[in-house]
A and B are shown apart, each in its own frame.
Chain A
Amino acid sequence: MNHWLTAPILIPLLGGVLQIFMSYAPMQLRRTLALGTTVMMLVAAVVLLGLADDGAYRMYAFGNWQPPFGIVLVLDRLAALMLMVTAVLALFCHIYSICKTDTQGPHFHTLFLFQLAGLNIAFLTGDLFNLFVAFEILLIASYGLLLHGGGTTRTVPGLHYVVLNLIGSALFLISVGMIYSVTGTLNMSDLAVQVPKISSEELPLVKAGGMLLLVVFGLKAAILPLCFWLPRAYASATAPVAALFAVMTKVGIYAILRVYTLIFGDDAGELANLGMDWIFPFALITLTVGVIGLLGSRTLKTLIAWQVIISVGTLLAAIGLNTSAGTSAALFYLINTTWVVGGLFLVVDLVSNQRGSASDKIVTAPRMRNRGLLGTLFFLGATANAGLPPLSGFFAKLLILQAVTPGIEMAFLWSIILIGGFFTLIAYSHAGSIVFWRNNEGHIESDSKLTLPVTASATALIGLSIVIVALAGPISRYTDATAAQLHNPAGYIEILQMPVITEGE
């Protein structure tokens, strides 16, 4: 039992509840408290990262019920890493939002903090049904955030997003029911024990449940046939929300990684590596479609939204290799892509605010103010995303390319990632050169000046790409250890034997 595990959930939850009751408090006070909450969450994430780094599993049993009977939170390296990635991204998005976004509608801070609470529950939980609840918490907060600020442009993509996710929730419940009806448990560690013991006549039910679960996570992660909702929804959201949503697809990827290495991992008997041979081809097709979408984008926001889909494809292709090296490379890429794509959403918003009626459309317009700074930020972000040296995207893609063993997989992975990277570069340089270099006569009547918080947070998120390069050694050591831990689920199963607090303590 370790009570620290509840901190990343309780801090944003309590902070969010506090915000509800402060509707009429001065804006400055609300902002200070909301930002303080996010900072505290970052501190908690750092503490947990330090705890998890020794490679041991830590468990928190709600109501002191010995697992598998109660709901447990489990902290391991992967969970701590995801908490950290989310907390850093959230802090900068939150700083960005306090300038304008949070005044566009009521309860922005509440929704933002509830969204963080939902994300953190999803990363920490050790229970499949609790994962469903976490998804619902982060989804209902994300519905509010997506529609925040209103406007007709957001209603229709918002409606699509809500309906699709409700269908996803229904499928999640069906698959959870199928798995529960055979195994009689939903605790992930207990499931890992029970799944290899399933008799052959009950096997198809669990297999169907497991594959259905992959569809649900695929919808969250936006894998190819289930990804068309994403560009419109993300492109229409306000910038800090879209930047925070960069981590939402990663929740689906986290869930795939967790469930399909632990429950349906190598030791799962007849169901070993269920779905893994589906992930790799679908990931590569997703990557290809993402690049095509990127090339066809007419606005900068859509461009970045398609970049999210490319990231998902690249990540899942590395995970689909189902090797320790592949997983490690995927995690390294995940850190890089989440922060840089988040940062690019913010930069693009800054650009569109400077361009008056041209906003974020990729067309020629009169010369914008602060062209040098914004152009540099966009260039750095594009370089990191396209995977060019010396930024982190290059190292991440290099690790992925190295992770594959020679063979047919290597041929597909290398060609698609490298050719995809080339076309990504073309799309970015096309967009960048039109927006930043080709100016026509006239001047822009908008007088929105860059303020320090927005510039600083956008710069910081893009700049993290350089930090990742500087710290590439420690980070890749950590991701290697995480991947080794993930591919050895025996340690996770020992949670069942972990003692809860007895009366004497």
Chain B
Amino acid sequence: MELVFALIIGTLTSTGVYLLLRARTFPVVVGLTLLSYGVNLFLFSTGRLSTDGQPIIGGAEAYSDPLPQALVLTAIVIGFAMTAFLVALALRSLADTRVDHVDGTRRQATPPEQTDAGENNQ
């Protein structure tokens, strides 16, 4: 379980970082979402991975650490709000600059297919 869990976190995080570096607003939003999924899973695992554990003492034989679950819950709520704000801001940026690049400028030397993609988005 640990290996699978670690691989999932690693995949989510590396995909997120890759998409962030694409420097176009939509991939950046998706990348940040994936990154926050990875982080939330990581935070969840800091209470050690166990099955059949209740987060309440006395309810069952084994119990799991409730604090990471509370932390993850907080992180999810905050991350969700931030993503919603970022989507709104990205749309605003697209409307203002007519380009989906995070710098708001179209590069002179962009390959033709990327320029097409930019125009389709408009």
Contact = CB atoms under 8 A, between A and B. Distances in A.
Contacts, number: 86
Contact of A159 (B40, B67, B82, B90): B90
Contact of A174 (B42, B48, B93, B102): B42
Interface in B38-52: 39-40, 42-43, 45-48
B104 interface: yes
Interface string A141-162: 0010001000010011011101
B7 interface: no
A177 interface: yes
Contact of A143 (B47, B48, B85, B97): B85
A181 interface: yes
Contacts of B20: 163, 167
B92 interface: yes
Nearest to B42: A177
Contact of A180 (B36, B67, B81): B67
Contacts of B39: 170, 173-174, 177
B119 interface: no
Contacts of B109: none
Contacts of B65: 184
Contacts of B78: 133, 136, 169
Interface residues of A, number: 27
B118 interface: no
Contacts of A159: 25, 89-90, 93, 102, 104
B75 interface: yes
A140 interface: yes
B10 interface: no
Nearest to A158: B89
A170 B36 contact: yes
Nearest to B99: A156
Interface string A90-108: 0000000000000000000
Q: Which of A147, A152, A166 has its CB near the most chain B CB atoms (within 10 A)? A: A166
Contacts of A133: 74, 78
Given A163-B102, A167-B32, A170-B35, A156 B85 contact: no
A166 B96 CA distance: 22
Contacts of B81: 140
Nearest to B98: A152
B47 to A, nearest CB: 8
A129 interface: yes
A8 to B, nearest CB: 22
Contact of A155 (B36, B42, B86, B104): B104
Nearest to B68: A180
A458 B116 CA distance: 49
B86 A162 contact: yes
A155 B98 CA distance: 12
Interface string B74-110: 1100110110011001101100110000111000000
B102 A160 contact: yes
Contacts of B75: 173
Contacts of B28: 163
Interface string B1-24: 000000000000000000010000
B71 interface: yes
Nearest to A152: B96
Interface in A247-305: none
B82 A166 contact: yes
Given A155-B97, A155-B104, A162 B89 contact: yes
A232 B36 CA distance: 26
B32 A163 contact: yes
Contacts of B48: 181
Contacts of B93: 155-156, 159
A159 B100 CA distance: 11
Nearest to B70: A129
A163 B16 CA distance: 13
23 contacts: A129-B71, A133-B74, A155-B89, A155-B104, A156-B104, A159-B102, A159-B104, A163-B20, A166-B86, A167-B32, A170-B32, A170-B35, A173-B39, A173-B43, A173-B75, A176-B43, A176-B71, A177-B42, A177-B43, A177-B71, A180-B46, A181-B47, A184-B65
Give 3 nearest A-B pairs by CB, closest first.
A181-B46, A156-B104, A152-B96
Given A155-B89, A167-B32, A177-B43, 7 more contacts: A133-B74, A156-B97, A159-B90, A170-B35, A173-B39, A181-B46, A186-B67
